[in-house]
Amino acid sequence: MPNAIVITIDGPSGTGKGTICCRLAYLMKWNFLDSGALYRVLAIAAKENQVRNEDELELIKLIDNLDVEFKMRNSKGETEVLFNGEIVTDEIRTEACGKAASVIAPIFGVRKALLTRQRAFCQKPGLIADGRDMGTVVFPNAELKIFLTASIDERTKRRFKQLKDSGNSVNLRRLRREIEERDERDSGRKISPLKPADDAAIINTTDINVEDVIKEISKLVINKIPNLSKQVVEYLR
């Protein structure tokens, strides 16, 4: 793995980690990894190739040719996800794709195969890694680990707005139930369960806006990572 600084930001959906990670990567001019998007892109590849979401061996074969790229569009945290050169940003954000990805994600062989792919994003000058097991499994030696939380009500509200803004039809009560079920699956799985790393800084974002969360994380970055370039420190200030 290249000698690059890694900051991991984990947490359940709706805590704001996607936007926050993108904004930080943009500010710091670092590389960005949305690990959840990899599983969602794999779900798209499975559908296109008529592979069942439970078929471990066939899914692993698909991973060998999984060409995924993240392109940050602006400082607002808007990022395009490209699969084989085609933009799939909206497609991977649908609930159907999320459900398929949540079936694929617990499969041991899939997680093992994607581990190498995820670590390949660790390139100089540094990496902001967004996920659920970035600090515990993928980058256990990361220089800074952060775990974001928020109340189920607030997370449901944020996800509802995100889906509506993308033009999706969504039922609020059903969405809350799906988020609760996803939380239970992610936290209860035997392989790479969703949980904070022992040395992670935990930030509750329920009553904090994105700007204030970024300010709090920026302070942690400056205080916890002594070998940051002066330029990055200036970006964060």
pLDDT in tens, 84-98: 999 999 899 887 898
pLDDT surpassing 60 at residue 50: yes
| Kind plus residue range of the DSSP H or E element containing 111 | helix 108-119
The predicted pLDDT at position 170 comes to 86
**Interval 204-210 mean pLDDT:** 95
pLDDT surpassing 80 at residue 76: no
Buried b (16+ CB within 10 A) or exposed e, 34-63: bbbbbbbbbbbbbeeeebebeeeeebbebb
Query: How far is it between the farthest Cα atoms of the chain?
Result: 50
**pLDDT-derived band of residue 63, with 50, 70 and 90 as boundaries?**
very high
**Interval 72-101 mean pLDDT:** 87
Q: Is 3.30.499.10 the CATH classification of the domain at 5-224?
A: no
**Interval 181-193 mean pLDDT:** 85
**Interval 42-50 mean pLDDT:** 97
Report the SS3 class of residue 50.
Answer: coil
- Tokens representing 126 are 């540094």
**pLDDT-derived band of residue 1, with 50, 70 and 90 as boundaries?**
very low
The predicted pLDDT at position 155 comes to 96
**pTM of the predicted model, to two decimals?**
0.89
pLDDT surpassing 60 at residue 2: no
End-to-end alpha carbon distance in the chain: 29
pLDDT in tens, 124-166: 999 999 999 999 999 999 999 999 999 999 999 998 988 888 7
Domain boundaries, the chain: 5-224
pLDDT surpassing 90 at residue 217: yes
